Structure 1
Amino acid sequence: MKLSLDWVRDYIDLPTDLDITTIAHDITLKTVEVEGWTNPAHQLTNIVVAHIADVTQLGDNGVRLTCDIGQPQPITVASRVTDLTPGRILGLALPGARLTPRGGDAVREVAVAQVMGIDSYGVLISPADVGLAGLFPGGDTALLDAVDLNVPAGTPLASAVGYDDWVLEIDNKSLTNRPDLWGHYGMARELAAIYHLPLKPLPAAALPAPVEGLIGQLDAQLCRRFVAVSFDLPEHGPAPLWVRSRLARIGENPRSLCVDLTNYVMHTVGQPAHVYDRDQITVPLSASVTNTATKVDLLAGHSRELEAGTPVITDTAGPVGVAGIIGGADSSVTDSTRHFVLETASFHPQPIRRASQHLGIRTEASARFEKNLDTQRVDAAVGLFLHLLGDLAPNTQLLGSQDSANTATQPAVVDTDLGFLTTRIGETLTGSDVTATLTTLGFDVTSTNGGRLQITAPTWRSTGDISGPHDIIEEVARIRGYDTIPTAGLTVPLRPARQLNARPLERVLREQLAAAGLHEVVTYPWTIDAFLAATGHTKDTTVRIDGAPAPDRDSLRPALIPNLLEAAAANLRYTDTIAIYEAGTVFHAGADAPYRDRFEILPAHRLSLAAVLVGGDGPTLFRRAKGVLEHLRGHAHLTDLTFTTDGEPASWADASARLTITSSGQHIGTLGLLTSKARRAAGIAVSAAAFEIDAAALRAHSSRTNTFTPLPEFPDAEFDLSVVVADTVTWADIAGTTTAVGAPVNTVAYIGEFRGSWVPDAHRSLSLRITARADHTLAADEISATRQQVLDALAADHGARLREV
Structure 2
Amino acid sequence: MKVPLSWVREYVDLPAAAAHEVAERLTAAGLKLESIESFGYDITNVVVGRVLTVEELSEFKKPIRYCSVEVGEAEPRWVICGATNFVPGDVVPVALPGATLPGGFAVGSRKTYGRISDGMICSARELGIGEDHSGILILPADTPIGADVVELLGLRDDVLELEVTPDRGYALSVRGVARELATSYGVPWRDPADVEIPATAEESYPASIADPTGCDRFVLRRVDGFDPKRPTPMWMQVRLTRAGVRPVSLAVDVTNYVMIELGQPLHAFDWSRLSGPITVRRARTGEKLETIDHVVRVLDEGDILITDESGPISLAATMGGVDTEISDVSTELVIEAAHFSATAVARMSRRHGLVSEASRRFERGVDRELPPIASWRAVRLLAELGDAVVVPGVTDVSASAPPTVITMPADHPDRVAGVAYGRETVVRRLADVGCAVSGEDVLTVTPPTWRPDLTDPNDLAEEVIRLEGYDRIPSVLPHAPAGAGLTEPQRLRRRIGRALAGAGYSEVLAYPFVGERDLDALQLPADDPRRVAVRLLNPLSEDEPFLRTSLLPGLLKTLVRNVGRGFHDVALFETGLVYRPRPGAPERAPILSVDRGPTPEEVASVDAALPDQPFRVAVVLCGEAERSGWWGSGRQVSWSDAVEAARIVAREAGVELEVRADEHAPWHPGRCAALYRGDVLVGHAGELHPRVVEAYGLPPRTCAMELEPERLGARAEGVAQAPRVSPYPVAIQDVALVVPAETPVAAVAAALAEGAGELLESVRLFDVYTGEQVGEGNKSLAYTVRFRALDRTLTAEEITAARDGAIARAAELTGARLRGA
Q: Does residue 160 of the first structure (1) align with residue 164 of the second (2)?
A: no
Alignment match, 2:745: 731
**SS of equivalent to 2:137:** coil
Q: 1:464 is matched with which residue: 443, 447, 453?
A: 453
Q: How does 1:404-803 map to 2 (within 5 A)?
A: 404-408=397-401, 410-417=403-410, 421=414, 424=417, 426-427=419-420, 429=422, 431=424, 433-448=425-440, 451-461=441-451, 463-468=452-457, 470-482=458-470, 485=472, 503-506=490-493, 516=505, 519-523=508-512, 534-535=524-525, 537=527, 560-561=549-550, 583-589=577-583, 599-601=603-605, 602-603=607-608, 606-609=612-615, 622-634=639-651, 636-644=652-660, 659-669=673-683, 693=707, 695-701=709-715, 702-706=718-722, 727-733=741-747, 798=816
**SS of equivalent to 2:614:** strand
- Cα distance, 1:256–1:668 mapped onto 2, change above 3 Å: same
**SS of equivalent to 1:229:** strand
Q: Distance in 1 between matches of 2:239 and 2:769?
A: 83
Which residue identity does 2:645 align to in structure 1?
V
Q: 1:224 is matched with which residue: 216, 221, 224?
A: 216
In the superposition, the TM-score normalised over structure 2's length comes to: 0.73
Q: Deviations over 1:318-355 (max 9, x none)?
A: 33232222222332211211232222222222232233
Alignment match, 1:200: 190
Alignment match, 1:779: none
Q: How does 1:34-73 map to 2 (within 5 A)?
A: 34-42=33-41, 44-52=43-51, 67-70=69-72
**SS of equivalent to 2:41:** helix
Q: Distance in 1 between matches of 2:13 and 2:496?
A: 66
- Cα distance, 1:65–1:579 mapped onto 2, change above 3 Å: same
- Cα distance, 1:728–1:598 mapped onto 2, change above 3 Å: farther
Q: Distance in 1 between matches of 2:303 and 2:462?
A: 38
Shift of 1:233: 3.0
Greater Cα offset, 649-658 or 141-150: 649-658
Alignment match, 1:111: 108
Q: 1:171 is matched with which residue: 159, 163, 166?
A: 163
Q: Does residue 29 of the first structure (1) align with residue 39 of the second (2)?
A: no
Q: Distance in 2 between matches of 1:18 and 1:459?
A: 31
Alignment match, 1:783: none
Which residue identity does 1:25 align to in structure 2?
E
Greater Cα offset, 82-91 or 250-259: 82-91
Q: Distance in 2 between matches of 1:88 and 1:752?
A: 102
Q: 1:243 is matched with which residue: 236, 242, 261?
A: 236
Alignment match, 1:4: 4
Q: How does 1:353-372 map to 2 (within 5 A)?
A: 353-372=346-365
Which residue identity does 2:36 align to in structure 1?
W
- Cα distance, 1:620–1:113 mapped onto 2, change above 3 Å: same
Greater Cα offset, 46-55 or 668-677: 668-677
- Cα distance, 1:708–1:655 mapped onto 2, change above 3 Å: closer
- Cα distance, 1:498–1:374 mapped onto 2, change above 3 Å: same
Q: Where does the alignment leave 5 or more consecutive residues of structure 2 unmatched?
A: 565-569, 590-597, 624-635, 789-802
- C-alpha RMSD of matched pairs (Å): 5.8
Which residue identity does 2:153 align to in structure 1?
V
Shift of 1:368: 0.9
Q: Distance in 2 between matches of 1:91 and 1:381?
A: 34
Greater Cα offset, 680-689 or 519-528: 680-689
In the superposition, the TM-score normalised over structure 1's length comes to: 0.75
Shift of 1:410: 1.9
Greater Cα offset, 670-679 or 516-525: 670-679
- Cα distance, 1:325–1:755 mapped onto 2, change above 3 Å: farther
Q: Distance in 2 between matches of 1:322 and 1:696?
A: 59
Which residue identity does 1:158 align to in structure 2?
V
Shift of 1:252: 0.9
Q: Is the 8 A contact 1:204 1:387 kept in 2?
A: no
Alignment match, 2:567: none
Q: Distance in 2 between matches of 1:753 and 1:93?
A: 93
Q: Is the 8 A contact 2:279 2:307 kept in 1?
A: yes
Q: Distance in 2 between matches of 1:50 and 1:759?
A: 110
Alignment match, 2:125: 128
- Cα distance, 1:751–1:24 mapped onto 2, change above 3 Å: farther
Alignment match, 1:270: 263
Q: Distance in 1 between matches of 2:245 and 2:190?
A: 25
Quick one: percent identity of the two aligned structures? 23
Q: Is the 8 A contact 1:208 1:398 kept in 2?
A: no
- Cα distance, 1:769–1:418 mapped onto 2, change above 3 Å: same
Q: Is the 8 A contact 2:505 2:573 kept in 1?
A: no
**SS of equivalent to 1:438:** helix
Shift of 1:579: 7.4
Q: Deviations over 1:718-766 (max 9, x none)?
A: x9x9999753133325666899999x99988779989999998756798
Q: Distance in 2 between matches of 1:307 and 1:756?
A: 81
Which residue identity does 1:90 align to in structure 2?
V
Which residue identity does 1:211 align to in structure 2?
E
**SS of equivalent to 1:589:** coil
Q: Distance in 2 between matches of 1:145 and 1:276?
A: 29
Q: Is the 8 A contact 2:688 2:702 kept in 1?
A: yes
Q: Deviations over 1:98-117 (max 9, x none)?
A: 568xxxxx985433433356
**SS of equivalent to 2:135:** coil
Q: Is the 8 A contact 1:213 1:283 kept in 2?
A: no
Q: How many residues align?
A: 758
**SS of equivalent to 2:136:** coil
Shift of 1:169: 1.4
Shift of 1:198: 2.5
Q: Is the 8 A contact 2:572 2:620 kept in 1?
A: yes
Q: Where does the alignment leave 5 or more consecutive residues of structure 1 unmatched?
A: 101-105, 775-788
